């Protein structure tokens, strides 16, 4: 019996050790080497950038009068994958505020909308996460942003060590989770505009709707709350039957429309900060007389972040 006990004890110890090793391997950083992009010129353009074993289109705009202090502004498109249009809509603001727009196209051929875009390819099946299906961090879609930032700053001889990032709709879901999975990311301001649903900071709710059964670490929350993040949603973005809006028991626990879900996510986060006396620099802004519409959301966001 004693021999059997030690055998079971040994197996349990090995399991715990191997599990903890898998957890500790996640650094929330990336080992991807930045690429030097030689073809970038002032004005609008597009270049190919490697991610995993293929390349994606990166739409960009560089003002004619840019200098080494110009700031990079990442723009993450919605489910329509319209990176070029998103970039074009930000050119006027880029000229006014001396910003360089970077709009990656997360294309439908290489990236599913769910697992590989809005959930960042962290897991092979984001709705059923497990240690066995956890992807290497360098293969996360979230791991595109930081090396691309380094590539752009090197290629354009920029000195600004931080960037801004905005995502709309599906792109907002990307940015919302990018913030959680990349707590060391060097953004100074982030805008999460009208996502369909959220990964709520709740260790009692399973991922992707909460933190449980995932590698997300609650210990990073104090640092995340200190960052300047704006969550925005239209006052009229309250249609429970909106096209593409995820409806199931887990998502509906956050509310049945985008407006209610934004309020729920923000209130949960604010309550955690208050209960723990954390600095809280997250903001929720409701856009008056606006439904789920790209252009008014973008203009509101740009005014918010630039003023």
pLDDT of residue 131: 94
pLDDT of residue 307: 83
**Is 9 a domain residue?**
no
Taking residues 270-282, what's their average pLDDT? 98
pLDDT of residue 8: 38
The domain total for the chain is 1
**Alpha-carbon torsion (239, 240, 241, 242), positive or negative:** positive
4: pLDDT confidence band, cut at 50, 70 and 90?
A: very low
CATH code at position 80: 3.40.50.1820
Identify the CA nearest to 178 among candidates 220, 212, 219, 206. 220
Question: Range of 61's domain?
Answer: 43-306
Task: Kindly report whether the peptide bond that precedes residue 208 is cis, defined as omega within 30 degrees of 0.
Answer: yes
Q: Report the Cα 145 to chain-centroid distance in Å.
A: 9
31: pLDDT confidence band, cut at 50, 70 and 90?
A: low
For 208-266, the DSSP string reads TTSSBTSS--GGGHHHHHTSEEEEEEETT---TT-TT---SHHHHTT-SSHHHHHHHHH
Using a cut of 0.75, tell me whether the model's pTM lies above it: yes
**Is 8 a domain residue?**
no
**Is 191 a domain residue?**
yes
**Is 6 a domain residue?**
no
The Cα–Cα gap between 156 and 34 comes to: 13
Taking residues 25-37, what's their average pLDDT? 63
Mean pLDDT of the chain: 91
- Per-residue pLDDT for 16 more than 60? no
Q: What is the pLDDT of residues 151-188, one digit of tens each?
A: 999 999 999 999 999 999 999 999 999 999 999 999 99
Q: H/E element holding 287?
A: strand 282-287
**Is 12 a domain residue?**
no
37: pLDDT confidence band, cut at 50, 70 and 90?
A: confident
The Cα–Cα gap between 257 and 240 comes to: 5
Taking residues 79-99, what's their average pLDDT? 97
38: pLDDT confidence band, cut at 50, 70 and 90?
A: low
Burial class (CB in 10 A: 0-12, 13-18, 19+), 239: middle
- Per-residue pLDDT for 20 more than 80? no
- Per-residue pLDDT for 128 more than 50? yes
**Is 179 a domain residue?**
yes
Gyration radius of the chain over CA positions: 20
24: pLDDT confidence band, cut at 50, 70 and 90?
A: very low
**Is 114 a domain residue?**
yes
**Is 26 a domain residue?**
no
- Per-residue pLDDT for 144 more than 50? yes
pLDDT of residue 40: 86
Q: Which of 8-12, 157-161, 229-233 is predicted least confidently?
A: 8-12
23: pLDDT confidence band, cut at 50, 70 and 90?
A: very low
């Amino acid at each position: 019996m004693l021999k059997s006990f030690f055998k079971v004890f040994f197996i349990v110890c090995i399991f715990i050790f191997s599990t903890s090793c898998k957890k500790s391997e996640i650094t929330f950083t990336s080992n991807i080497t930045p690429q030097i992009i030689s073809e970038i010129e002032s004005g609008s353009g597009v270049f190919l950038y490697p991610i995993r074993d293929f390349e994606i289109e990166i739409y960009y705009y560089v003002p004619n009068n840019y200098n080494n202090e110009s700031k990079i502004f990442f723009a993450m498109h919605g489910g329509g994958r319209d990176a070029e249009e998103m970039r074009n809509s930000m050119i006027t603001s880029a000229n006014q505020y001396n910003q360089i727009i970077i709009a990656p196209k997360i294309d439908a051929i290489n990236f599913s909308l769910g697992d590989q875009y809005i959930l960042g390819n962290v897991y092979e099946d984001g709705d059923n996460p497990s240690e066995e299906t956890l992807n290497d961090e360098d293969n996360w879609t979230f791991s595109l942003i930081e090396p691309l930032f380094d590539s752009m700053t090197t290629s354009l001889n920029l000195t600004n060590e931080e960037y801004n990032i905005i995502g709309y709709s599906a792109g907002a879901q990307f940015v919302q989770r990018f913030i959680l999975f990349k707590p060391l990311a060097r953004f100074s301001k982030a805008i999460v505009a009208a996502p369909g649903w959220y990964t709520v900071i709740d260790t009692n709710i399973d991922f992707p709707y909460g933190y449980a059964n995932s590698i997300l670490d609650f210990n990073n929350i104090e640092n995340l709350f200190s960052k300047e993040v704006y969550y925005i949603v239209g006052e009229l973005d309250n249609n429970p039957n909106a096209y593409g809006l995820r409806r199931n028991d887990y998502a509906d626990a956050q509310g049945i429309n985008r407006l209610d879900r934004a309020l729920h996510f923000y209130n949960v986060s604010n309550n955690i900060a208050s209960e723990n006396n954390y600095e809280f620099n997250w903001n929720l802004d409701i856009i008056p007389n606006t439904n789920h519409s790209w252009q008014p959301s973008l203009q509101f966001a740009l005014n918010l972040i630039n003023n």
